[in-house]
Structure 1
Amino acid sequence: MTKDVYVITGGSEDLAIALAQHIGQKGTLLLVDSCEKCLELVKQQLFQQGITDVHCETSDLTSKRAVGTLAEKASELGSLRGLVHAAGLSNASDSKRKMADNVIGMSHVLEAFLPLANETTSAVMVSSMTAYMVPQNGQYMDALKQQLSANLVETLDQFTQGDAGAANSMSKLAVQLIVEDQAWVWGEKGARLNSVSPGMMNVPDAYEDIQAMLDHTPLRRTAEPGEIASAIEFLLSDSASYITGIDLRIDGGTVANYPRMKTAMSQEKMKRF
């Protein structure tokens, strides 16, 4: 009997580890990351928890050829049941690298794994709540929709002016736009494609603006990786069989309260003068 295969990129991230713990007993795991040592540590951790059908691959997801090799590996392991692109959560300060990791890498993953998709396949791309803080009426919107144009990163860098935070938010918006666009071709295979937008996770020693955001988040706290993983597990499952082409916010209500938050934060800054 053919095994169900779950591919998780960004395999050493806390979110990916939590997801592997959630779905590890459901099939074969293929964890992907750029750090071989990190993957080995995750594999050992999962083994200690009784999750033993785990395979690890190092890869540069910005390389189309490397991602193609990953898809071949997944095909050898069994039938693609789940694909989760969680790479791109790093705190890299280079804006162009962020854009390449988040947009180019994800586009390569979707292209390479589409031929493996079938009526049981569900793919989930990880975006961010910060995507909702980018105005969706700028000239950059057309560029974001042209995901693999030859000069995409350079074009978007003109809009972000080298600001890593802006590049991260804009690239996460691109994730959502790509999912909306590609849901059709995945649907032609009977497969589903969605994205999730986590709120703040793992913010030790939160600096002032982050703490202000937490103060104005309805649930008043950061998210646990397991809480994001549970939502992804749902989207991967048959319980979400008629959900595709959407973005699911898992942010404790931050975006819903964002207009009031901005007003309150502006007023607070005014008091300092």
Structure 2
Amino acid sequence: MTELRGRTVIVTGGARGIGAAAARTAVASGARVLLTDVREDEGRAAAGELGESARFVRHDVTSEDDWRRAVDFAVTAFGRVDGLVNNAGISGGSHFLEEQSPEAFRHVLDVDLTGVFLGMRAVIPAMRENGGGSIVNVSSAAGLIGLARTAAYGAAKWGVRGLTKLGAVELAADRIRVNSVHPGMIHTPMTAHVGIERGEGKYPNTPMGRVGEPREIARAIAFLLSDAASYVTGAELAVDGGWTTGPTIRPTEENP
């Protein structure tokens, strides 16, 4: 198991899906975790399940004031901030470029990209005080390839990828590592809502032939938070069943 004992980690979008899984894995690895989300009931329930090692605070990642309060809360509750998982995000729906309204485009960028920027800025002083830390930005496979009908989401996730590399360069001297994780199709409440199913052969577009589970992303996040990744910064880790590697030759019903 990845060792995070003695660390304090902030996980945004922690009420469910990948965020909740990341929080569970971090606590199981010895960390204390502050889960944040706009979904208060689900967030408090998720933190409650994790016991004394977890707390919850309502947090809009587009708000600089909320970020300041979240970091202050973590320092007050646990004494320090060692890790940040910038996971909170929205999909913005499925729209062709010409159909995407400027207002909707800006809203997705505010949450999925500006929220990451604000989070990185907010934790730097606390991490410097500790002598370093680790920031993991959750991007997407859509931040590695061009994916149709994701104009706003794709633009934001490519932006997260670039912001990660910028942060890695600027913050290395402070012993703050910054990396990005790029999930493929993962079974979460968001994807289940549009009909994505678990099981072998349910997602033939991926070489591995299935959707991923939140815990599989959480393990990658925990690795990047830990000293096991002490010489890893500016990296982009695809956890996507091979989706972005290239066209699959996996047999399908149409092409046995």
Larger Rg computed on CA atoms: 1
- 2:153 matches 1:125: no
CA contact under 8 A between 2:33 and 2:55: conserved in structure 1?
yes
| Greater displacement, 169-178 / 8-17 | 8-17
Aligned partner of 2:33 in structure 1 is 29
Say if 1:4 and 1:78, in contact at 8 Å, map to a contact too. no
Question: Which residue pairs with 1:65 in the alignment?
Answer: 65
1:120 Cα deviation (Å)? 4.4
Higher helix share: 1
Tell me how far 1:213 sits from its aligned partner.
9.8
Correspondence 1:113 to 2:123 = yes
- Per the alignment, residue 88 of structure 2 pairs with 87
How much has 1:189 moved relative to structure 2? 1.0
Cα deviation 1:198-243 (Å, max 9, x = unaligned): 0101144349xxxx99313110000111111111111111110000
Structure-2 residue corresponding to 1:74: 74
Listed as ranges, the gaps of 5+ residues in structure 2 are 1-5, 94-103
Q: TM-score, normalised by structure 1?
A: 0.75
Residues 213 and 255 from structure 1, CA distance in 2 versus in 1: closer, same or farther, beyond 3 angstroms? farther
Question: Equivalent of 1:194, from 171, 179, 183?
Answer: 179
> Given the superposition, is the C-alpha separation of residues 20 and 84 from structure 1 closer, same or farther in structure 2, using an over 3 Å criterion?
same
Instruction: Kindly indicate whether residue 166 of structure 2 is the aligned counterpart of residue 184 of structure 1.
Output: no
Matches within 5 A, 1:102-251: 102-118=112-128, 119-134=131-146, 165-202=150-187, 203-204=191-192, 205-206=195-196, 214-251=203-240
The answer to whether the Cα contact below 8 Å between 1:201 and 1:223 also exists between their aligned partners in 2 is yes
Residue among 1, 11, 16 paired with 1:8: 11
Q: Given the two structures, how large is their TM-score scaled by the length of structure 2?
A: 0.80
CA pair 206-74 structure 1, distance change in 2 beyond 3 A: closer
For the Cα contact (< 8 Å) 1:117–1:186, is it kept in 2? no
Count of residue correspondences: 226
SS for the counterpart of 1:61 is coil
Gaps of 5+ in 1: 136-159, 262-267, 269-273
Match status 1:98 vs 2:98 = no
Residues 133 and 213 of structure 1, relative CA distance in 2, 3 Å threshold: farther
Bigger CA drift: 198-207 or 14-23?
198-207
1:134–1:170 Cα contact (<8 Å) kept: no
Contact persistence 1:217–1:257 (CA under 8 A)? no
Inter-partner Cα distance in structure 2 for 1:39 and 1:22: 16
Q: % of aligned pairs identical?
A: 29
Q: Secondary structure at 1:242's aligned position in 2? A: coil
Task: Find 1:43's aligned residue among 39, 44, 47.
Answer: 47
